[in-house]
Every structure is written in structure tokens, then in C-alpha cells.
């Protein structure tokens, strides 16, 4: 009897651990994501008040469009549209940021991508 209960507890525990880690997280609205990203960029890049307004608009448009793309599902078409959105956002940011700020932005983004890849490789 003890073995059966132990096995049952182990099976339940393993199935709970296999649940999606993001299942309990609340999805942020595009407005919340854009505000958070703009706040982080302001801190990291030292944006002027004029730049903050423009960068927030760029981030908000990107967040809204990317939410629409995510809602469409997964696949090659979605991946291509996401890449196009990112390229458009980066071109708009390059027009707003100084060359030094944009270089720093690219460095920060590259570091975050590398951190994500190493984290994903560890799982």
C-alpha cells in the first residue's frame, strides 16, 4: 500500500512539474509592454524627453502589431512577419536615437539574446 501511494504521489508530482511555466502568468497588454520597454530604454540609454515620446510610440506600435501576429498562431508566415516588424522598429529607433545610443541599444539586445539562448540551452 505504501509503495502504491508513493508511486501515485511521484506521478502526480511529475505531472505538476511538467506544466507550462507560463500558464499561471498574466499576459501584459501591449500598452504595458511598451511602457515597460520604454522605461528600460530610458534608463539604459539616457533618452531625452523628446526621444522618450517618440520611442514610446515606436514601442507601442510594435507591441500592438506583434500581439496581432502572435494571435495569428505559429509558423513560417508568422516568423517572417515578426522579423519584418522587428526590422521596421529598429529602423525607426535608429532614426530617433543618436549613433551612440543605437550602438548601446544593439549591444544590450545582443546580450539579452545570448542570455536567452544560454538559458534555453540549459533547459
Question: Using one digit for the tens of pLDDT, what is the confidence trace for 42-70?
Answer: 999 999 999 999 999 999 999 999 888 87
Query: Is 4 part of a structural domain of the chain?
Result: no
Helix axes 99-122, 30-45, angle to 10 degrees: 120
Query: Is 1 part of a structural domain of the chain?
Result: no
Q: How many domains does the chain have?
A: 1
Confidence of residue 15 (pLDDT cuts 50, 70, 90): low
pLDDT at residue 114 greater than cutoff 70: yes
Distance CA(106)–CA(103), nearest Å, equals: 5
CB–CB of 63/34 below 8 Å? yes
What mean pLDDT is predicted for residues 6-21? Answer: 58
Query: Is 12 part of a structural domain of the chain?
Result: no
Query: Is 37 part of a structural domain of the chain?
Result: yes
Question: Using one digit for the tens of pLDDT, what is the confidence trace for 71-101?
Answer: 777 777 778 888 999 999 999 999 999 999 9
Q: Supply the pLDDT for residue 78.
A: 78
Query: Is 50 part of a structural domain of the chain?
Result: yes
Query: Is 107 part of a structural domain of the chain?
Result: yes
Confidence of residue 106 (pLDDT cuts 50, 70, 90): very high
Query: Is 48 part of a structural domain of the chain?
Result: yes
Q: Is the pTM of this model over 0.85?
A: no
Query: Is 121 part of a structural domain of the chain?
Result: no
Amino acid at each position: 500500500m505504501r509503495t502504491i501511494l508513493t508511486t501515485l504521489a511521484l506521478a502526480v508530482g511529475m505531472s505538476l512539474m511538467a506544466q507550462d511555466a507560463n500558464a499561471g502568468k498574466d499576459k501584459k497588454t501591449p500598452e504595458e509592454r511598451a511602457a515597460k520597454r520604454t522605461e528600460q530604454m530610458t534608463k539604459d540609454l539616457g533618452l531625452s524627453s523628446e526621444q522618450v515620446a517618440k520611442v514610446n510610440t515606436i514601442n507601442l506600435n510594435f507591441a500592438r502589431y506583434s500581439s496581432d501576429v502572435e494571435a495569428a498562431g505559429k509558423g513560417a508566415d508568422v516568423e517572417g512577419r515578426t522579423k519584418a516588424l522587428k526590422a521596421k522598429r529598429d529602423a525607426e529607433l535608429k532614426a530617433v536615437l543618436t549613433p551612440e545610443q543605437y550602438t548601446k541599444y544593439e549591444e544590450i539586445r545582443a546580450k539579452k539574446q545570448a542570455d536567452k539562448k544560454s538559458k534555453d540551452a540549459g533547459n
